[in-house]
Amino acid sequence: MFINSVRVESIREDSYIRQLPVVRYLEEYEALKLTSPVTCFVGDNGSGKSTLIEAIAIAAGFDAAGGPLRDLEFRGVIHPTHSTLSRWMHLRGGDIPPRGYFLRAETHYDTVTIHDRKRNGGKLRHEMSHGESLMSILGEQANGAGLYIFDEPESGLSVVRQMALVAEIHQAVKRGAQFIIATHSPIILAIPDAAIVDITDHGLEDTVYEEAEAVIATREFLEDPQGTIRYILG
């Protein structure tokens, strides 16, 4: 694999990112081992999933806003607010990835603009829906051996499109791809042989599909949607 270990050390004392449990865990205890071609990070909002994913991407050579690996046309064009975690992050792995893509849901519109500017013929991605443009770009970019880092790729995708994305990821893994994904989707978590890492207040915990909170909550809701809503509404 292209990345098999993530380690954080020597973070400045006054840095706000030390407040995140995932950061404290990585700094104080041990490196995070990536043992599967697909690693999915799960956790509640504010747990640090996106911060961790972003830092791994920047440390691996992607632009903070997303886009293809080592593509200068994407470098520095979009200026998202991002954390400083990548400054203290160390990645270890095997070969240098020949290609890759960093998908950020919140900057997808801006990266589509750059893709359209580079496009020679065919339908512009801005003429597509969010989900259609996302699937079009990923079908083009994540189609072979490489490193692909996705932050909530389910954003804007229907249930059926999420299933199609799972199939695309599975096929890419067969061709030598590695995926690192932050997600809330029980469909994305069903990628075959994916390692699921739960980010909690206590750090990082390996879990299995059936015990992931997104899966449990979705299953309980589908078993009794009206009862669940009545309970939530009090």
Name all contacts of 217-226 with Cβ < 8 Å and 24+ positions apart. Answer: 218/186, 219/186
Percentage, residues of the chain above pLDDT 90: 51
Does 154 reside within a domain?
yes
Q: What is the mean pLDDT of residues 35-59?
A: 92
Distances (CA, A) of 27 to 4, 41, 55, 67: 17, 18, 14, 28
Q: What is the mean pLDDT of the chain?
A: 86
Q: What is the mean pLDDT of residues 107-114?
A: 73
Does 232 reside within a domain?
no
Q: What is the pTM of this model?
A: 0.90
Q: What is the mean pLDDT of residues 88-108?
A: 88
Give 174-185 pLDDT, tens digit per residue: 999 999 999 999
Give the chain's domain count.
1
Does 147 reside within a domain?
yes
Surface-to-core class of residue 62, CB atoms within 10 Å of its CB (0-12 exposed, 13-18 middle, 19+ buried): buried
Structure tokens at 151: 């932050």
Does 13 reside within a domain?
yes
Give 125-166 pLDDT, tens digit per residue: 667 777 788 888 888 888 789 999 999 999 889 999 999 999
Does 195 reside within a domain?
yes
By residue range, what is the domain housing residue 161?
Answer: 5-205
Sign of CA dihedral 181, 34, 187, 50: negative
- Answer whether 197's CB lies under 8 Å from 207's CB: yes
Sign of CA dihedral 184, 173, 191, 201: negative
What CATH number does residue 120 fall under? 3.40.50
Does 231 reside within a domain?
no
Does 217 reside within a domain?
no
- Answer whether 26's CB lies under 8 Å from 166's CB: no
Does 11 reside within a domain?
yes
